Structure 1
């Protein structure tokens, strides 16, 4: 079976930026339930940049897929946080190179004068805390969509 195309989903690849907490809520909703191997996290300290290569569920296409009886899709996306001064994690075993993480939420805790912390909340009580000089986050799709391996939309036991 061939990969789905952006044209079939009626959507263009996402390329979004967030400079405010409100902007970040949009990115958070689009990255909810994204999965990624622990090996796909990079902090480039000299460039003040933290990046994740995510397998993102295409929430923006899920209603259309359901209505048309079409398969749900995922797409690989690059989530980049700029202006990062430090990175801390809790509940994330980065030594286990085979672990797959699931992103639940991306939020911003503002500090003084534009500083603050970007929080990446993971399933299983894991969290990454990125201290930032200023909020600057981008989300960009980098591959064509592909059929979600589970064939289902993620659920949270609602």
Structure 2
């Protein structure tokens, strides 16, 4: 019997409500620029993301009050015995009926950059994929349909994304943890 939250996700989004669910599922996904591609002949935009499995997280009462910035060290070895365990998984995301793609806040040629997804924002003319540090991908097209499917098995992580809800964070409310530091390497 599978434990709760261990199932692979396979979702389709075609309306505003569906995209709200997809946005929540993809919040804090890490997306390498090298894993994004526009396929103009197919009117498709595809990407592979390393997503945090929010649906598999521990109940809120079990989460620590603070996100650990640095792992504890003993004798030069990092130890995680008392740290909660979370999961990440690769997922493939396909957007169909895409007529045009625009990039903001990063260069598509910078293939070693990793973007941290904040939200998917649909409107009548398309969808905007919003990332931290004011980066975005705008997909233009009417009635865009999206398919998301988890790929492979999840892997454990001790790092949970955190969000500054006070608005004091300069990085659009997202704390940069060890998993997202590479993202800011390109000005």
The normalised TM-score by structure 2 is 0.72
Which one of 123, 126, 142 corresponds to residue 133 of structure 1?
142
Q: Is the 8 A contact 1:66 1:72 kept in 2?
A: no
Gaps in structure 1 of 5+ consecutive residues: 1-5, 111-115
1:109 alignment partner in structure 2: 123
For 2:153, what is the secondary structure of its paired residue? coil
Structure with higher Rg: it is 2
Is the aligned partner of 1:49 residue 2:58? no
**Deviation per CA, 1:15-36, whole angstroms, max 9, x where unpaired?**
0001101110000000000002
Maintained 8 Å contact 2:5/2:55: no
RCO comparison, higher one (Cα < 8 Å, 6+): 1
Asked if 1:147 is matched to 2:156, the reply is yes
- The alignment's C-alpha RMSD in Å is 2.1
- Select between 65-74 and 83-92 the one with higher mean Cα deviation: 65-74
Bigger fraction of residues in strand = 1
List alignment gaps of at least 5 residues for structure 2: 64-82, 166-187
Task: List 4+ stretches of structure 1 deviating above 2 A.
Answer: 6-11, 63-70
